[in-house]
Homo-oligomer: A and B are copies of this chain.
Amino acid sequence: MASDRVVALLGVGVVPSDTPVLRADDLGVLRGDGCFETMHVRDGAPWLLDEHLARMARSAARLGVALPPAAALADLAAQACAAWPADREGAVRLVCTRGPEDGGGPVTVFATVAPVSEVTVRARRAGIAVRTATLGYPADVRAAAPWLLGGAKTLSYAVNMASQRWAASVGADDVLWVSTDGYVLEAPTSTVVWREGATLYTVPAERTGILAGLTARWLLDHAGSLGFRAAERMVTPAELAAADGVWFLSSVRGVAPVRSLDGEATRTDPAETDTLRRFLGYP
């Protein structure tokens, strides 16, 4: 099957993209047991590489997975990106599974680079229609229950994918997960950011067990350059719908304006989205 993807294995280098690389007893597939990161490839290199490697180390620590050193992972990502056209944007993934179930084998580590889909590129300008849906958790339950793996970016994304399929089935582009006690959490593959007056907000990650979004973090850390303050707070869907602008931030899509929330138009301004997108360096 034709594939537009680069695949590189730790200690091996780039291999044909249809090469089988995981054994049948790899815990990455049997249990979704491992962690990953996805980064935006621009000018031939992953953006925010150090931040993503640091988060991957935190995920691995929560899982008790023996992640290789950051330098080895950075080399692997570089090998994969070197085989990708420097003038083409892409998405590089780093994956580390717990390895084979038999014999306590070493972790399985690989990198892939893939194109950014047309749907993703379109969403940056056209925006997305978002539906809220429960994640089933009270907002604070994961902070006190580390076995629920809050904040870890694991390979167990079946619920994330099912939530997005559910959104598509009701005519939406994406989902915003809400806690059982009525607070906005995150999207299956994005972090929500909103503006009220001169402040850009996001949801506190520690308290809620959501993934600490790195693209959102970068934006809030540099908000001053755009004349904004930055803060975190708990928010309800109703408050979000009344905000001066709402965006989903993620590594590959960058910034996607939330055009509507549960069918109601938001006040997100396309010109402001353009400003944010350029500031974040997305085409």
Contacts and interface: CB of A to CB of B under 8 A. Distances in A.
A37 interface: no
Number of identical monomers bound together in the oligomeric complex: 2
B147 A166 contact: yes
B32 A1 contact: no
Given A18-B100, A31-B155, A154-B158, 14 more contacts: A5-B102, A7-B23, A17-B25, A21-B22, A22-B22, A25-B114, A26-B29, A29-B95, A29-B97, A30-B36, A63-B158, A133-B145, A147-B159, A147-B162
Interface in A21-72: 21-34, 36, 62-64
Q: Which secondary structure dominates chain A's binding surface?
A: mixed
Contacts of A100: 1, 3, 18
B23 A17 contact: yes
A20 interface: yes
Interface of A: 1-5, 7, 17-34, 36, 62-64, 93, 95, 97, 100-103, 105, 110, 112, 114, 133-138, 141-142, 145-149, 152, 154-163, 165-166, 175, 180
